[in-house]
Amino acid sequence: MAVLVYLERLLVTQSGRSESGNPMSIPKLFKSKSLPRAAVESILIMFGVLAALAVQSWWDNEVERGVLLSHLTAVQDELHEARESIAENLRESGLVVDHTKKVFMMLADTKTEAMPDFFVKTVSEMYTVISPDIPLSAFDAFVSSGSLRLINDKALRAKFAEYRSEIDDAESISGTMTDVYYDLQAPFLNKHFVLSDFGWEIDADDAFGERIISSGEVPKAPYTVNWNAIRSLEYWNLVYDWRIAYGDHILAMITVQSLCQQLEDLLQAEIEKLGP
């Protein structure tokens, strides 16, 4: 009804007037000679409106496509950087595991009375917590922008969610390793090793100092090591637990690395669809 009223007003306004100059109704307009002209003008106006809407829709789509392409390209570059970071993380983690194996071999050598000179150095290198350190600024900016809704590929959208979830798991495992070190490993080292040999400084005013100083007195003599304690089953289990913890870390990083590559491949296909 509103459309009819609008058309009536439009037709009457454009050309529907009587000889006296007063507007004519649509029925009278149909009988007048000005109807064809009014019809043509109305059709032109409607086509003009539709054309304007079509142009606006096309422009909006182009803007959205440009924004999406910009985000996807930034995420792709960040994924490449992430793969390099993960590869370095796995390399360093592999070195830590190698140090752990060396410590196990020295602990298992019951024929040698004294530990090798490099034992303390190997132990210090074994206790290294390597955080994931995976860049996510472009990824998070893309998700928070709302542009993710523009991706029609459900597999790609699901892979984005899986990738972020696995990174969260890897960071959680890294945090657990830090807790394992401070809560289990550090108290033993504090009692039976000289912490300064590893380049650590004990400050009772910070959280690190409070946690390990409360567990026992720090040995004062240089390179003081309680070898009987080191050769005990307790320390063997601690080293074994540390190796297991690092195994979990490495597995999590390999999973993220695999997802990173999969996501890069899917992104490349999506970027090619969007075009330059």
Q: Residues 187-233: pLDDT tens digits?
A: 887 777 755 444 444 444 555 455 555 555 554 444 567 778 888 89
How does residue 19 score in pLDDT terms, banded at 50, 70 and 90? very low
Distance CA 171, CA 61 (A): 38
Q: Residues 102-137: pLDDT tens digits?
A: 888 888 877 766 666 677 778 878 888 788 889 999
Query: Could you tell me if residue 43 is inside a domain?
Result: no
Distance CA 82, CA 134 (A): 5
Query: Could you tell me if residue 103 is inside a domain?
Result: yes
Chain CA centroid to CA 58, Å: 32
Query: Could you tell me if residue 118 is inside a domain?
Result: yes
Task: Provide the domain count of the chain.
Answer: 1
Model pTM score: 0.69
Distance CA 45, CA 38 (A): 10
Query: Could you tell me if residue 29 is inside a domain?
Result: no
The closest alpha carbon to 156, from 270, 78, 71, 64, belongs to 270
Distance CA 192, CA 136 (A): 41
- Which domain does 243 fall in, by range? 71-274
